[in-house]
Amino acid sequence: MALIEIKHLKKYFNTAGGTLHAVDDVTLSIEKSKTLGVVGESGCGKSTLGRTIIHLTPPTAGEILYNGENITNQSPKAFKKLRVGMQMIFQDPYASLDPRMSVFQLIAEPIQTYKMAGSRQALERRVGELMDTVGIAARLKNSYPHELDGGRRQRIGIARALSVNPDFIVCDEPVSALDVSIQAQVLNLLQDLQEERKLTYMFITHDMSVVKHISDEICVMYLGQVVEKCASRELFKKPLHPYSQALLSAIPVPNIHIEKKKIEMKGELTSPIDPKPCCRFAPRCPYAGPVCFEQQPELKCCGNEHYVMCHQVKENSES
C-alpha cells in the first residue's frame, strides 16, 4: 500500500520575471517501507517537491495523500499532529543545526516540542538511545556542531528526524556535502534504520551513483516535471528518456577496461519561468524533432510500470 500519494502537484513561485514552475504537475506514489529516489540537476525542483509534500510550503495545486487521507489543505494546527509522522533530513547538516546548541539539546529539542518525554529522566534516556541508534558516542553529548565532523553532524540530523518516530522521511541530498568515504557509512545507517523501523523514504540527490543502491523506484526530474519513473533496476538497465540516458552515461566507470560513451547534452538548462508548452528537454536533446518543440509530451507507460515523457521514446527504446 502507498504511504504517500501525490496527484498533479504544482508549486509555482511568482518572481519578477514571471511565474516560476518549480514543480509542475507531478504525480507519484511511495509504497510503505520503500524508497523513492528523486534525481535531476540542481534547480529542477527536487527540494521544492519534498518540502511541498511534507507541508513546509503550501502547494499551488494538486493533492497530497498520506496513508490514504487527503492532507492537502490541512490547517497548520491540524498538520502539527501529522508533522511527527513526516520528517526531513537536510543536505547541509551544519546550516540546519543551531550552532549554539549541544548535541544533547539538538536531539532533545523535537522531543520537547512535541512533548514526547514525560520527565527529564525519560528525555535523557530517549536522547541516549537515539545517539546510540545513529552511532554518536555518548561522550559527545555536550559537544557543539562545530566540534564534530560532517558525518557526525549528519547523524545528529538523522537522530533529530527519528526522535519523533516518523514513518516517512524526505532525505534531501543527505550525503552530498560529505566526503565520499563517509557517504557510504551514512547511507548504510539510513538503510539499516529503514529495515529496523519500516521507514518510507523519499531520497533526493543529483548523484546517480548514490541513488542506485538505496532506491526501489526512481523518478527522474527535469525542470519541474517527472520525465521518467520506474523501478531502480529497470532504470539502470534500460533508461528510456534521453535525459536519463545522459545522466547515466555521466557516471564514472571504475573499470578502466570498460569504455563508456558519454552522451553530451547540448546547450544550457532552459528557464523554469513561464515554460512553453513543449518538451522542456528538447533544446538539449540529441533526438529532438519538430513535434518536440511544438507539443508537451505525456507521461506514458511503456510496460513494466515504466513511465516516460518523450515523443521519441519508441524509436529510442528499440535502439
Ligand X SMILES: Nc1ncnc2c1ncn2[C@@H]1O[C@H](COP(=O)(O)OP(=O)(O)O)[C@@H](O)[C@H]1O
Residues that bind Mg ion (CB under 5 A): 47
- Interactions with ligand X, residue window 256-315 (CB under 6 A): 272
* Cell digits of residue 196: 529496523
* Cell digits of residue 27: 504525480
In the complex with ligand X, which residue's Cβ is closer, 151 or 272?
272
Measured from the CB of residue 48, what is the shortest distance to ligand X in angstroms? 3
Q: Give the residue ranges of DSSP H helices in 198-250.
A: 208-214, 232-237, 242-249
In angstroms, the CA 134 to CA 124 distance is 16
Query: Which does residue 45 touch among ligand X, Mg ion, none (CB within 5 to 8 A, set by kind)?
Result: ligand X
* Residue 174 found at the interface with ligand X (CB under 6 A): no
* Residue 44 found at the interface with ligand X (CB under 6 A): yes
* Residue 42 found at the interface with ligand X (CB under 6 A): yes
In the complex with ligand X, which residue's Cβ is closer, 16 or 258?
16
* Residue 85 found at the interface with ligand X (CB under 6 A): no
* Residue 210 found at the interface with ligand X (CB under 6 A): no
* Residue 235 found at the interface with ligand X (CB under 6 A): no
In angstroms, the CA 237 to CA 307 distance is 14
Choose which of 6, 9, 22, 208 interacts with ligand X (CB under 6 A): 22
In the complex with ligand X, which residue's Cβ is closer, 22 or 246?
22
Q: Give the residue ranges of DSSP H helices in the chain.
A: 46-53, 76-83, 93-96, 103-113, 120-134, 150-162, 180-197, 208-214, 232-237, 242-249, 290-294, 313-318
Measured from the CB of residue 122, what is the shortest distance to ligand X in angstroms? 37
* Residue 91 found at the interface with ligand X (CB under 6 A): no
Q: Reduced to 3 states, what is the DSSP secondary structure of residue 199?
A: coil
**Among 160, 163, 162, 168, which Cα is nearest to 66's?**
168
* Residue 20 found at the interface with ligand X (CB under 6 A): yes
Q: Beta strands 18-31 and 2-15: pairing type? A: antiparallel
Q: Which residues in this chain contact ligand X in the complex, by CB under 6 A?
A: 13, 15, 20, 22, 40, 42-48, 272
